[in-house]
């Protein structure tokens, strides 16, 4: 296994591959638990969901659990002394474990999307694979410090998913959903737009002095991923604001059962990133 990881350019993965597989397996277990628990907690809603709609519910549950878990695990890395000393090529075992958990989720997400590509489309396969590809190279090691920075994007995921669940539970337009929507927009803007763009610039400043040491394929992968992700974050935030403004305009038409932020949720992904 060590030789294989060396050949693939992810040498440090030899210390973390079991965690990665365990994380992927845990995601499958959470799906099964969701099917049992959701039916008991929401007997008027979950059993009535059919096919891809029920599957989508379970995926949102996995997404929420992963987002909360990964933010809790990744936050200490922002002050990790080893990684702060070398933000580009530094390696820390705890950081490796965190990225193994994240990669396990993205691996599960990719395989799950492939299996249900007819229900969710090829876009989710691409999303999962690209996310996996970006974080798997942290085991080179490469950008282990900044990886924790961009995992902070997941701060907005639980609120996005809660908004989605509220729609399915008939809480559309409620005061609870309004409060959650305000928090969602605030966290999304702070974590993904302000913090995200600022740290993208800081990553650029850190990489440039040592760019000659970085393989060209990593430069291409990470540069493209950074531009696409930040562009998508700006687009999604714009759609949220646009939809909210439309919602609060006086209208004689019956309000749709799907709220504006939920429309963005469906546009964005079945579980966010």
Cα of 174 vs its chain's centroid, Å: 26
Residue 170: is it exposed, middle or buried by C-beta count within 10 angstroms (0-12/13-18/19+)?
A: exposed
Q: What is the pTM of this model?
A: 0.87
pLDDT in tens, 4-52: 999 899 999 999 999 999 999 999 999 999 999 999 999 999 999 988 8
Buried b (16+ CB within 10 A) or exposed e, 235-251: ebbebbeebbeebeeee
Phi/psi zone of residue 272: left (φ > 0), alpha (ψ -120 to 50 degrees), beta? left
- As a whole number of angstroms, the distance between CA 13 and CA 19 comes to 10
pLDDT in tens, 40-84: 999 999 999 988 899 999 999 999 999 999 999 999 999 999 999
């Amino acid at each position: 296994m060590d030789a294989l990881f060396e050949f693939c350019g992810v040498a440090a993965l030899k210390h973390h591959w079991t965690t990665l597989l365990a994380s992927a397996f845990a995601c499958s277990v959470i799906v099964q638990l969701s099917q049992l628990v959701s039916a008991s907690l929401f007997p008027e809603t979950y059993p009535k969901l059919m096919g891809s709609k029920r599957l989508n519910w379970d995926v949102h549950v996995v997404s929420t659990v992963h987002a909360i878990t990964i933010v809790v695990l990744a936050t200490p890395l922002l002050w990790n002394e080893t990684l702060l000393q070398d933000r580009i090529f530094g390696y820390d075992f705890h950081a490796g474990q965190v990225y193994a958990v994240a990669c396990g989720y993205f691996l599960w997400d990719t395989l799950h999307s492939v299996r249900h590509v007819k229900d969710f489309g090829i876009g989710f396969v691409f999303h999962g694979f690209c996310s996996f590809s970006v974080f798997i190279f942290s085991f080179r090691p490469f950008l282990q410090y900044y990886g924790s920075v961009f995992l902070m994007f997941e701060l907005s995921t639980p609120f996005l998913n809660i908004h989605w669940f509220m729609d399915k539970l008939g809480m559309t337009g409620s005061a609870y959903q309004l409060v959650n929507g305000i928090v969602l927009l605030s966290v999304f803007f702070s974590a993904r737009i302000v913090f995200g763009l600022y740290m993208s610039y800081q990553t650029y400043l850190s990489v440039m002095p040592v760019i000659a040491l970085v393989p060209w394929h990593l430069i291409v992968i990470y540069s493209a991923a950074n531009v696409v992700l930040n562009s998508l974050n700006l687009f999604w935030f714009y759609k949220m604001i646009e939809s909210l403004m439309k919602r609060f305009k006086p209208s004689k038409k019956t309000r749709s059962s799907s709220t504006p932020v939920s429309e963005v949720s469906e546009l964005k992904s079945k579980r966010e990133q």
